[in-house]
Chains A and B, each alone.
Chain A
Amino acid sequence: MNIFRLAGDVCHLVAIIILLLKIWRSRSCAGISGKSQVLFAIVFTTRYLDLFTVFISPYNTIMKVVFLALSYATVYLIYMRFRNTFNSENDSFRLEFLLVPVIGLSFLENYAFTPLEILWTFSIFLESVAIMPQLFMITKTGEAESITTHYLFFLGLYRALYIANWVWRYHTEGFFDQIAVVSGVVQTIFYIDFFYLYVTKVLRGRGKMTLP
């Protein structure tokens, strides 16, 4: 464990909590893409199947349980509790455009052709594109509440910190997880234009982020 990975996990946790609290306190999921949240729940489910078979550390196990619980709680709030505030017509990204290539690629490119390994690879590839429906919804509605942009900021920052973690682990222990690194770089690239808007619009404007 190193400071970059720990900071990354904390950012990830903060992002998930920001979103969950926003939905719970505003009792509304307007402007939130339910599809992205479903994809994140699938990412955690397919990645943490080794929760009961592989024990890494108490931290690892606890964080996996927390991420699973919070992501399913978020999906529950969106599709069950506050479903009347869910504007599905704005959440129109075609998930098959993401799932088909990700499933295909995870069968082609993986470390071992075993169910657990293919599912792990699937979750890595899926995570890199899971935010697309949310970013698509923001471009479609042309705006995002500032709390949603804070959520996206921490979510994007988490994987950027993981890249620093991979650089650190490569130089200190020769560790290099090619699938995770390539996918993590792609994922972070998707956030770059958002980061630019976040810094120029939200942090200065202190208001809603309206796309040009």
Chain B
Amino acid sequence: TDEAANHDEL
């Protein structure tokens, strides 16, 4: 799933 790609939140 795309969330795993890059966690852009702190």
Q: Which of A154-205 contact B (CB under 8 A)?
A: 162, 165, 175-180
| Closest residue of B by beta carbon distance from A50 | B7
Q: Is the CB of A56 within 8 A of B8?
A: yes
Identify the B interface with A (CB < 8 A).
Answer: 1, 3-4, 6-10
Q: Is the CB of A63 within 8 A of B10?
A: yes
Determine the main DSSP class of B at the interface with A: loop
Identify the A interface with B (CB < 8 A).
Answer: 5, 9, 12, 47, 50, 54, 56, 60, 63-64, 67, 111-112, 117, 120, 162, 165, 175-180
Given contacts A111-B1, A112-B4, contact A180 B10 (CB under 8 A): no
Q: Is the CB of B4 within 8 A of A9?
A: no
**Given A63-B10, A165-B9, 17 other A-B residues pairs in contact with their CB atoms under 8 A:** A5-B9, A9-B10, A12-B10, A47-B7, A54-B6, A56-B8, A64-B10, A111-B1, A111-B3, A117-B4, A120-B7, A175-B3, A177-B3, A177-B9, A178-B3, A180-B3, A180-B9
> Nearest Cβ in chain B — how far from A120, in angstroms?
6
